Amino acid sequence: MKRCAGPLKFLVVEDEPLISMDIEMMIADAGHQVIGTAATLDEVQAMSQEQELNVALVDLHLARGSSGFDVSDHIQMRWPGAIIVFVTANPSEIPEDFGGAHGVIAKPFSSAGFVSAMQYLKEGICDPPPVSPQPGSFVASKAFAASWGAN
Amino acid sequence: MDERKDWHLTDALHHEQGRGDPFAAAVRATRMPMIITDPKLPDNPIVFANEAFQKLTGYDREEILGRNCRLLQGAETDPDAINAIRTAIADGGDIEIDLLNYRKDGSAFWNALYLSPVRDDTGDIQFFFASQLDVTARIDAQSRIARQKRHVEQQVEKRTADLQSALDAQKLLLHEVDHRVKNNMTMIGSILRLQLREVSDEDSAHQMRAMMSRIDALATVHRRLYQSDDVTRFDIGAYAVNLAGDLVRAVTDRDIGLVTDVRRAEIPAGQAAVLGLIVNEILTNCVRHAFAVGDEGHISIFARAEESRVLLSIADNGMGSTRRDQPAAGLGGIIIERLSKQAGTQVTWQTDASGTRADLTIKSEVT
């Protein structure tokens, strides 16, 4: 079942500007669209209500003491259909249920690892279940597989 | 001391058994302090106290007779012990107890008291008989041992707490350093990728991609470090599979599969970066040079831990060539050759029409 009409709409929540830029460009390379970037929870909250969102990539340790878990909670409230993927150097801090989020890409990621994670995400969102095997760079939570049955 | 009274007392004591009882004489003469009280008289007074008792307590017989035993009690005597004795007397039972008593001069001693009723033929209690023993030395030794034990225990507790907090601090530090290294590695990767976008000529881009690949290999090492319970070990087989997966997925113009036969194959964490780079060169070599554009093929990875070494084999079923029976040329070759020496690792190459294979024998213990 094909679900995605156009490119996927991404939000990047990352407080390191260079890493954020790099991620934005890799998302664009994969044919998707970055609709916003944020370095804190406030900036995510300040985003337009109207904005459509498919995938949020969220760092855990954000600027000014913001936590990626709070960002994840906020996104789940505001964009209930969005897929949330943590991008973090501390994957061990993530609870077993991922706090409702859908997966994690551990830092430091390699170029190839990030690209294959993007591919797997796209397959899981647009045409589930994914045909590619789950790459080593991406660990999905139960919520990701659960989202395949939705809609 | 009034000997006549002694005799009188002995008479009084054994009035039912008759005079001159040898047992009474023994009680009088024994080194064991002994007293007899008469519960039929008001306040159960002492009616007999032998020589040894007088010596122990410092009281003369005249000062003792007619008094209740509580004259031996003092400030530090345990009220529970006194209650236990009272209960035994009231119940007509016997009791054996250590209690703190005081001499006439006020000095304290530990008294191992044994008290029991003496009954007549009809079973009525005639007297209470009590023997005392100065056990101050024993109690002191016990309490000294108990004190020392407490002291040692406190020391052990304190040291354990110190060690625990040092360990916690170390864990926190490792976690913090690990986090920073990972973040910095991520940033290095991002900077390189961003830089690569600015490069216009193909040769520079090729060079930067090679650099990128090596940085990515190191990133993969750091991502996988400290993941197991034992932070001092690194599973080189699992790493090779992870990296190979990334590499084959990244090539789109060839269809390369992975065949893995990998068991736990751990090396010291200190060798992880060096061996991670070597494995990256070998795998990159397979992916780039073993297969032509449009080819299908596979790379197989085999890993085993033996007694003090790890065996890691990386093979492809692509084109073998005489050129490929040795490490690749350029920096890749140098990395494999020089770093394998550093890591105590032997690399041997085999190549023929069925493909190329690199066998690594890695020392898995730090020597």
- Cβ contacts of residue B243 below 8 Å, gap of 6+? B217, B220, B276, B279, B280, B283
CA distances from B153 to B144, B150, B157 (A): 14, 5, 6
Find out if CATH 3.40.50.2300 is the number for domain A9-146: yes
Residue B168 to residue B165: CA distance in whole angstroms:
5
Smallest CA–CA distance, residue B194 to chain A, in Å, is 6
Residue in chain A lying closest to B191 (CA):
A18
Domain regions of chain B by residue span: 3-134, 199-363
Matching residue, tokens 């647009």 = A126
**Contacts with A19 from chain B: Cβ below 8 Å:** 186-187, 190
- Band (A136; pLDDT cuts 50, 70, 90): confident
pLDDT at A10: 96
pLDDT at B283: 93
Picking from A107, A111, A119, the nearest residue to B193 by CB comes out as A111
Smallest CA–CA distance, residue A95 to chain B, in Å, is 15
Burial group, residue B279, by CB count within 10 angstroms (0-12, 13-18, 19+) = buried
Residue in chain B lying closest to A110 (CA):
B216
Nearest one of B129, B97, B93, B102 to B112, comparing CA atoms: B97
CA distances from B201 to B67, B132, B196, B332 (A): 116, 107, 10, 22
Record: fold of B3-134: Beta-Lactamase (3.30.450)
Name the β-bridge partners of B112: B98
Residue A52 to residue A122: CA distance in whole angstroms:
16
**Contacts with B186 from chain A: Cβ below 8 Å:** 16, 19, 89, 107-109
Residue B262 to residue A53: CA distance in whole angstroms:
40
Q: What is the mean pLDDT of residues A30-53?
A: 92
Residue B84 to residue B93: CA distance in whole angstroms:
11
pLDDT at B12: 52
Q: Do A18 and B212 touch (CB under 8 A)?
A: no
pLDDT at B15: 43
Burial group, residue B49, by CB count within 10 angstroms (0-12, 13-18, 19+) = buried
Picking from B185, B187, B246, the nearest residue to A18 by CB comes out as B187
Q: Do B182 and A89 touch (CB under 8 A)?
A: yes
**Contacts with A18 from chain B: Cβ below 8 Å:** 187, 190-191, 194
Report, as ranges of residue numbers, the positions in chain B whose pLDDT lies below 50: 1-8, 11, 14-18
pLDDT at B20: 65
The amino acid at residue B49 is A
Q: Do B216 and A112 touch (CB under 8 A)?
A: yes
**Contacts with A112 from chain B: Cβ below 8 Å:** 216, 246-247, 249-250
**Contacts with A136 from chain B: Cβ below 8 Å:** 241-242, 245-246
pLDDT at B178: 86
**Contacts with B183 from chain A: Cβ below 8 Å:** 16, 89, 107-108
Smallest CA–CA distance, residue B268 to chain A, in Å, is 21
Q: Do B250 and A111 touch (CB under 8 A)?
A: yes
pLDDT at A150: 55
Find out if CATH 3.30.565.10 is the number for domain B199-363: yes
Length of chain B: 367
What ipTM does the predicted assembly reach?
0.90
Smallest CA–CA distance, residue B300 to chain A, in Å, is 17
Provide the whole-model pTM. 0.68
pLDDT at A73: 96
pLDDT surpassing 90 at residue A48: no
Cis amide leading into A95 (omega within 30): no
Residue in chain A lying closest to B176 (CA):
A90
pLDDT at B140: 85
Question: How many beta-carbon contacts under 8 Å exist across A and B?
Answer: 84
**Contacts with A135 from chain B: Cβ below 8 Å:** 245-246, 249
Q: Do A112 and B191 touch (CB under 8 A)?
A: no
Q: Do B182 and A108 touch (CB under 8 A)?
A: yes
- Cβ contacts of residue B36 below 8 Å, gap of 6+? B13, B46, B47, B48, B49, B118, B127, B128, B129, B130
Residue-averaged pLDDT of chain A? 90
Q: Do A16 and B183 touch (CB under 8 A)?
A: yes
Give a three-class secondary structure readout of chain A.
CCCCCCCCEEEEECCCHHHHHHHHHHHHHCCCEEEEEECCHHHHHCCCCCCCCCEEEECCECHHHCEHHHHHHHHHHHCCCCEEEEEECCHHHCCCCHHHCCEEEECCCCHHHHHHHHHHHHHHHHCCCCCCCCCCCEEECHHHHHHHHCC
Which residues of A lie inside 8 Å of B (Cβ-Cβ)? 16, 18-19, 21-23, 25-26, 89-90, 106-113, 115-116, 119, 132, 135-137
Residue B246: CB atoms within 10 A of its CB come to 26
In angstroms, the first-to-last Cα distance of chain B is 86
Residue in chain B lying closest to A22 (CA):
B190
**Contacts with A90 from chain B: Cβ below 8 Å:** 179
